[in-house]
Amino acid sequence: MAAARVLARGVRLGSYSIGRSRSLTFSGVQRRGIAACVDPSIGLTDEQKEFQKVAFDFAANEMAPHMAEWDQKEMFPVEAMRKAAQLGFGGIYVNPDVGGSGLSRLDTSIIFEALSTGCVSTTAYISIHNMCAWMIDTFGNNEQREKFCPDLCSMQKFASYCLTEPGSGSDAASLLTSAKLQGDHYILNGSKAFISGGGDTDVYVVMCRTGGKGPKGISCLVVEKGTPGLSFGKKEKKVGWNSQPTRAVIFEDCAVPVTNLLGAEGEGFNIAMKGLNGGRINIGELFHNFDLKPF
């Protein structure tokens, strides 16, 4: 459901107190700009102010009161995120024809900055989910878009981004997870490390090697939960950020239909980096807000 359509019906989720009451005593405020802290809507269009307010209100009423419990009990807050999706936050920059809100990257940053006032950990996962939905929407064919995007935008299904491996983090082009074409399936073998949502999500956007060494040998497959050969490691123990589970994702002769290949063979590294370009902006907005919040 597009955020603009929700806003047009006048949905309001409570007070705007979070956005208006940030403390000016925190040492980081002067570095970030006092005016933006007093009123984060300065410089925004009327439409941007509206969905910013909706996001702030949702954070105040649906996230902040539960943040500590989610973290302490390591709860993946599915129902809260589905409520966010009803406001258009499950596919913020996904095209409307497959259930997205069709907003811009700037609009997305405004929304994530506001949501992060309620729970940084959960908002970070929502940003990853949005990135995956955008990747399928942008690089998938119509059949793939129609198959995956509506359920992702409504958050009836959740997505994880699978690039990092035990031996290749920053040097993503050296990844080793392999996908060998056999008939109408790719046989996937390897593992991914520190995957947000791993084991609790339904759709895995996986970068794997279908060709030779380097970035040109990497392709992108969408792997669905329940596929034989797909399994998960134990939940990682973390200091905070426990509302998003983190696990290894393991592929052992995992047969993925050829129809789940995003783009063409050899385009996976480019797809992965374009996804991260937006994802890094989103995470930056989360931590910009995190820096400003007094504790």
- One DSSP character per residue, 34-85 reads HHHHH-TTTT--HHHHHHHHHHHHHIIIIIGGGHHHHHHTT---HHHHHHHH
Does residue 121 sit in the same domain as residue 195? no
Residue 269, in any domain of the structure: no
Q: If we measure between CA atoms, which residue out of 273, 260, 255, 259 comes closest to residue 216?
A: 273
Q: Which two tokens stand for residue 6?
A: 């929700």
Residue 64, in any domain of the structure: yes
Yes or no: say if 208 and 223 are a contact pair by the CB < 8 Å rule: no
* Alpha carbon distance 136, 271 (integer Å): 10
Does residue 56 sit in the same domain as residue 130? yes
Does residue 164 sit in the same domain as residue 284? no
Residue 272, in any domain of the structure: no
Angle at 25 between CA 21 and CA 29, to 5 degrees: 85
Tally of domains in the chain: 2
Question: What is the mean pLDDT of each successive set of 10 residues along the chain, which is 295 residues long?
Answer: 40 32 34 53 92 96 97 98 98 98 95 94 96 98 99 99 89 94 98 98 99 97 99 96 97 99 98 89 72 51
Does residue 60 sit in the same domain as residue 200? no
Q: Give CA torsion, residues 197, 144, 173, 278, to 10 deg.
A: -70
Give residue 265's Cα distance to chain centre: 24
Instruction: Write the single-letter amino acid at 106.
Output: L
Q: Kindly provide the b/e burial profile for residues 38-50, where b requires at least 16 CB atoms within 10 angstroms of the residue's own CB.
A: eebbeebeeebbb
Q: What's the pLDDT at 171?
A: 85
Does residue 125 sit in the same domain as residue 173? no
Local structure of residue 24 (DSSP, 8 states) = S
Instruction: Write the single-letter amino acid at 52.
Output: Q
Does residue 131 sit in the same domain as residue 213? no
Using DSSP's 3-state secondary structure scheme, residue 270 falls into: helix
Residue 194, in any domain of the structure: yes
Does residue 148 sit in the same domain as residue 287? yes
Does residue 7 sit in the same domain as residue 78? yes
Q: If we measure between CA atoms, which residue out of 123, 154, 248 comes closest to residue 192?
A: 248
Yes or no: say if 188 and 179 are a contact pair by the CB < 8 Å rule: yes
pTM: 0.86
Q: Which two tokens stand for residue 223?
A: 């792997």
Residue 44, in any domain of the structure: yes
Residue 270, in any domain of the structure: no
Positive/negative CA dihedral, 116, 120, 122, 124: positive
CATH of the domain at 287: 1.10.540.10
Does residue 25 sit in the same domain as residue 100? yes
In 104-262, beta strands by DSSP E: 159-162, 178-182, 185-196, 203-209, 218-224, 230-232, 246-257, 261-262
Does residue 150 sit in the same domain as residue 164? no
**Inter-CA distances, 177 with 35, 117, 163, 253, Å:** 48, 37, 9, 11
**Distant-in-sequence, close-in-space partners of 158: CB < 8 Å, separation ≥ 6:** 78, 81, 129, 152, 197, 200, 201, 202, 203
Q: What's the pLDDT at 250?
A: 99
Residues spanned by the domain of 222 = 159-264
Does residue 9 sit in the same domain as residue 138? yes
**Distant-in-sequence, close-in-space partners of 141: CB < 8 Å, separation ≥ 6:** none
* Alpha carbon distance 232, 198 (integer Å): 7
Residue 63, in any domain of the structure: yes
- Residue with tokens 């490691």, as numbered in its chain: 233
Residue 69, in any domain of the structure: yes
Q: What's the pLDDT at 180?
A: 98
Does residue 114 sit in the same domain as residue 176? no
